[in-house]
Amino acid sequence: MNYLIDTDIIIYSLKGEQKVTNSFEERLNDPKSISVITYGELVYGAKKSQQEQKNMARVRRIAEIFPIIDISPAIIETFGDLKATLEKTGNTVADMDLIIASTALTHNMILVTNNEKHFQKIPELQIENWAT
């Protein structure tokens, strides 16, 4: 399996959530990456925190551990297709989350998130929740 780890799961891991930690340990040898969007969300969280330097060091360490997948033309094409399809059915997903989902779909990855309800609107997206 090849996993794209969403921001919330990274944060749960940093907080030492046991179920998430166990899930990472169980899948130690499976490839795991993060979207550049997740990296940006982590940087934002660190910058607005009370312990900016400490948290930025943690974010940089995450970037060393997990490959960061940049936004590519293929991901943006998937994004445009998904957004149009969702709007036609009356569903919406925030653009940043839609780019994360598009990254997973484009790279044939399983999205690991605790935000299942939000991402379930996206057809063909494989989702796992390591927090439950």
Residue 44 φ/ψ region, left for φ over 0, alpha for ψ in the -120 to 50 degree band, beta for the rest: alpha
pLDDT, residue 118, reads 85
Mean pLDDT of all residues in 79-105: 95
3-state secondary structure of 58: helix
Report how far Cα 42 is from the mean position of its chain's Cα atoms: 11
pLDDT tier for residue 123 given thresholds of 50, 70 and 90:
confident
Q: What is the pTM of this model?
A: 0.95
Question: For 1-20, what is each residue's pLDDT tens digit?
Answer: 999 999 999 999 999 999 99
User: What domains can be seen in the chain, in order of their start residue?
Assistant: 3-31+71-128 (3.40.50.1010)
CA distances in angstroms from 47 to 2, 9, 52, 69, listed in the order given = 30, 19, 5, 21
Give the Cβ contact number of residue 5 at 10 Å: 24
Question: For 31-54, what is each residue's pLDDT tens digit?
Answer: 999 999 999 999 999 999 999 999
pLDDT, residue 67, reads 97
Element (H, E) at 110: strand 110-112
